[in-house]
Chain A
């Protein structure tokens, strides 16, 4: 069993829908990262959080340390949000989830 589990693996949504991607981890962490990977392969860091909630534009990330669970929400989704979203737990090393492939259809 992977130390970082994401769900769902694949997600298809219509433009404008509210999206939620979940991440559970079993290791102790100093921070939890949400990353975005576009088809070309490059990875962009969206959030790094260790408690509570962070918001950037239409993206919101939350974390519950006690439950070892984090969620990434996208409001008013758009086709350009289509990408793979990766959750990563940081504690000296980064442990990665397998990613959630999101497709937003117009």
Chain B
């Protein structure tokens, strides 16, 4: 199985400031179509997860452009350019390349 790790596991942030979360896969997530099959999800308190980023760097429909994803080999980064109060929650990366799909442990983002 592909193992996903994330850092940090907890991230206190200041409103209006940038934030960054890292995710690493134990093996390449590069599909034969040339895309990295890595997703980012946000689970707000008391809610179900929602898709933020797919294919490593594509924003899902309706996701604000302050969210961006980037890829470097097996390292993936989610960046929030300016944190807003609604961004609080747990962020998960997930490899969508091969079954069993696997999630990172999650990064809990809250406001300082």
Q: A and B: real partners? A: no
